[in-house]
Structure 1
């Protein structure tokens, strides 16, 4: 069984979404401690990536017929600062498992 394109897109957007979250947190610290304010740009980028992540999560959930627990874990990972990296790893492992040839 091969993973859907939506699941693959979700995997591809997971790490950038996680990185944008970390950069946004760093930007908030910079805004508070210096005169440099990257938050408007980083917030916009992170917002777009988060929306893409949630949209691809929904599409993959529908296409792959994932159980609610898996979808809930992937969503919770999207709101944790380093969770996107763990989500990408989990999805890559699933992708490799689906791509492995079936042996009887």
Structure 2
């Protein structure tokens, strides 16, 4: 594993990875509210927050990969993780913590 240089961008990315994972879980919780009980507002709010965090996660992933001089493979791992529930928690723990 490549050495990690702790930067402000990396710290921000770590926090966004965690928050994006939490928002993904919250989004899954609000989906039944929307479709089973027709309660729309929580889904709209959580969906918007999740969307913003998702975009921030992907943009910061690209910036951190360039900043740390990691390859495209690492970016693709980060990107695929953003699509899988709970995977951003794994990414934060496995790839973003200094060893």
C-alpha separation in 2, matches of 1:27 and 1:7: 30
- In structure 2, the partner of 1:42 is 46
- In structure 1, the partner of 2:92 is 88
- CA RMSD in angstroms, aligned pairs only: 1.5
Could you tell me which runs of 5 or more consecutive residues in structure 1 were left unpaired when the two chains were aligned: 98-104
Quick check: which has more Rg, 1 or 2?
1
C-alpha separation in 1, matches of 2:82 and 2:91: 8
Query: Which residue, out of 68, 75, 79, partners 1:71?
Result: 75
In the TM superposition, 1:14-25 aligns within 5 A as: 14-25=17-28
Structure 1 residue 33: Cα displacement: 1.2
Could you tell me which runs of 5 or more consecutive residues in structure 2 were left unpaired when the two chains were aligned: none
Aligned residues: 95
C-alpha separation in 1, matches of 2:96 and 2:75: 15
Using structure 1 for the length normalisation, give the TM-score.
Answer: 0.81
In the alignment, is residue 5 of structure 1 matched against residue 15 of structure 2? Answer: no
Using structure 2 for the length normalisation, give the TM-score.
Answer: 0.85
